[in-house]
Structure 1
Amino acid sequence: MDILIERYLEYVRIQKRLAARTVTLYTLDLQKLTQHAEAESIELTEVKNNHIRRWAAHMHAQGRSSRGIALILSGWRGFYTWLGRKGLISSNPVQDVQAPKSAKPLPKALSVEDSVQLASYHNAAENPWLEARDAAMVELLYGSGLRVGELIGLDEVAASQSRGWVDMQAAEVHVLGKGGKRRSVPVGSKALLALQKWLLVRHQGLGGLDSAAAGATALFLGRNNTRLTAQSVWQRLKRRSLQAGLAMPVHPHMLRHSFASHVLQSSSDLRAVQELLGHTNITTTQVYTRLDFQHLAKAYDAAHPRAKISKPAT
C-alpha cells in the first residue's frame, strides 16, 4: 500500500481514535483509490477533480448505490484533506464532488382490486363501535386521498377555523392541509354511507353508552373519547388490512397514493389530481404519472399479442 495511505490510516487510528471497523472501511476505500490511480498511471498526489468525477461515475455505472459512493468519497475527501494539511497538495480533488443522485423510489400504491377489497371489508367479530369508525376512516383515506393528519384533524361539524370538517349534505370534506392551506375534496357515496353509520354510534363509546366527553368535537374518537392519534390510525389500518387478506400491511399514506394513482389512471387529469391532493407544486404530483405508466405497461404486457417473446418452435 502507498506509504501516504499507511501514514493516514495510522493518523486516524491513533490520533483520531476511530473504531477498528471504521479504519477497516477506510482501508478498503483507499485501496480502491490506489487502484484507480494506478490504472491512470498517476501518483495519489497527482489526482485531479476530473479523475474523481470519472471514478465516481464508473462506480455508479457498475451498480454501486449512491449512498455507497458517498461513503467512499467521504473517505477519499478525508485523506486528501490530511494531505493538504501536510502541504503535499494544493487543493482537495474531492472537495466539490458529490455522489450521483439515486432515483427516488415510487410511492407504494395498492391495486384497484386490493383497494376495493380493503374498503369493502367488514369484521363482524369486531366491536361495532370500532368497526364503524375504522370503516369510515378507510373510506375517507382512500375515497378522498386525505393525509392522516388531515383525517384526525376533522371535526364532526364546522366548529373551528383551525380544523377541517365533513359537509354531509354537499358530499365534501373540507380539510386544513400542510402550511395551513385549505381545500375541499369530494366524498364518494360509499364514504358517505360509512360516515353515516359511524355518526350514529360515535357518541356511544366502546361500552355502548353515551360517554363522549362534553364538547368533544373530533370526528374520529379514540378509546378514551379523545381525538384519535395518527399512531392509532396506523396501527388500526395495518391490523385491518391484514385481516382483510391483503398481502402487505397498509399504512394511511399508501391509501392516499392509491387514490391519486387510480384517479389519474381513470381521468389522465394531472391538474385535477394536484388540486385534490393539495400539492402546491405540480412536480410533486408528477410522480403518479410514473405509477400510471407502470399500470399501463403491465396491462400491455398482459394483453398485447406482441408484448411477450414467443417460444421458438421445436
Structure 2
Amino acid sequence: MNEVSVEDFTAYEAVTRFLKVLTIERQLSSHTIGNYTRQLQACLTIIGDISWAQLNTQMVKKVVHTSKQQGLSPRSINLRLSVFRNFCQYLVENNELSYNPAKQVHSVKEKKPLPKQLNADEMAVLLNFDDDSFLGLRDKAMLELMYGCGLRLSELTQLNLTDILDSGDLKVTGKGSKQRIIPIGRKAKLALSKYLAQRKLVEPVDDHNALFLSKQNRRLSQRQVANRLTKWAQSQTLYQKISPHTLRHSFATHVLESSKDLRGVQELLGHANLSTTQVYTHLNFQHLAEVYDKAHPRAKKK
C-alpha cells in the first residue's frame, strides 16, 4: 500500500477545494475542519495513490476493514466513513465521480451507552463552593453556566462578553454556527455577576472579547475547563468521573423530569433532531407513550 504523507495530501486539489467549501460556505469550525482533514488523510493513506475516477465501493470497504484492523472503535470508523462519504458526494456534484461509492457501504454497528448524569443533590454538592479568587469566581460562573444553560463544552469556551444580553439571557453559538437564546438562571446569574466584576479588571493578552480567561489572560481552552471540573469534583469529594458533558446531560435530565416538555428541552440543547434529545435524556417507551396520550388529538381521553 502506498503511504500518503502530509505533503502529498495537500497536493490533492479536490480535497483542498472540498475543505475550502466546508470552511467558507458551510462555515464549519476549525475543530471540525481539522477532523475532516485527518480523516481524509487516513482514507487516502489506506487507498493509496489513485485518480478519483478509479474510486469504487471495494476501496471504500477497504477503508472500513483497515480501520478495524487498526483498532479503531466503531464510532471512530463511522466518523471516518461519514467524512469520506461527504467528500465523495462533493466529487459527484462536481462531475469528478459518476456515483458515490461510499453510499453503498454500511456503517459499523455501535453500542450507544446512555450518557451519565448527576442527580440534583450531587450537582448541588459539586457547585457548593466559595472561592473569592479570580480563578475561583471564574470556575463558579463557568460551572453554573454550563449546568444552568446546558452548554456544550465548545459553546462555553466560545462565549464572548457580548453574548451576555441586557435581557439577562445568553446568546449561544452551537454546531453549524446556529445561534439560540437561553435564559440564565438565578444561581448562574449571581455567579456570573461576581466573576464579571473581576473580569473587568483584567486585560486580556489577545482576545479582548473572551468571556472566560485563563491564568495567562487568554481565552480558556476546552482542556483547561475539563481539568478545572475534575479538580472541583475531587475537591467536593465526588468520586465518580465527571466530564463537561455530564453537566449538559444533567441539565437536560433535570429539566425534562420537571417539565415533561421534550420539544422545549430540544430547543434549549440546540438539537436539530428530536431523536438526539431522546438519547441524551434516556427516554423510555412508557414516557413517550404518556407524551403521545396527552398530546395527540386522536389519543386524548375525553
Shift of 1:292: 7.2
- After the TM superposition, list the runs of 4 or more consecutive aligned residues in structure 1 that deviate by more than 4 angstroms: 96-100, 291-295
The offset of 1:249, in angstroms, is 3.0
2:107 aligned with 1:110: no
| 1:214 positional shift | 6.9
Q: Post-superposition shift, 1:99?
A: 11
Distance 1:154 1:260 in 2: 20
Q: Which residue of 2 aligns with 1:181?
A: 178
- Paired residue type of 1:104: K
Aligned to 1:201: 198
Give the 5 Å matches for 1:88-103.
Answer: 101-103=109-111
Equivalent residue of 2:182, what SS?
A: strand
Shift, 1:100, TM fit: 9.0
1:118-267 residue pairs with structure 2 within 5 A? 118-122=126-130, 124=131, 128-157=133-162, 165-167=163-165, 169-205=166-202, 211-213=203-205, 216-267=208-259
Question: How far apart in 1 are the matches of 2:240 and 2:140?
Answer: 18
Q: Match of 2:56? A: none
Report the CA distance shift for 1:177/1:102 in structure 2 as closer, same or farther (over 3 A). closer
Distance in 1 separating the partners of 2:253 and 2:271: 14
Deviation at 1:294, TM superposition (A): 11
* Structure 2 unaligned spans of 5+: 1-72, 75-103, 288-302
Letter in 1 for 2:251: F
Larger Rg over CA atoms: 1
Using the alignment, how far apart are the partners of 1:196 and 1:215 within structure 2? 20
Asked whether the equivalents of residues 233 and 242 of structure 2 are also in contact (C-alpha less than 8 Å), the reply is yes
Q: Matches of 1:280 and 1:294 in 2, distance apart? A: 24
Query: Quick one: distance in 1 between partners of 2:210 and 2:217?
Result: 9
Percent of pairs with identical residues: 46
User: Is the Cα contact below 8 Å between 1:119 and 1:135 reproduced in 2?
Assistant: yes
Segments of 5+ residues of structure 1 without an aligned counterpart are 1-65, 68-95, 158-164, 206-210, 296-314
- Which letter does structure 1 place at the counterpart of 2:164? V
Q: CA deviation at 1:263?
A: 0.5
Deviations 1:214-242 (A, max 9, x none): 76110000111111100100000111111
Q: Considering only aligned residues, what root-mean-square deviation do their CA atoms show, in Å?
A: 2.8
Query: What is the alpha-carbon distance in structure 1 between the residues aligned to residue 259 and residue 281 of structure 2?
Result: 12
Structure 1: distance between partners of 2:105 and 2:196: 58
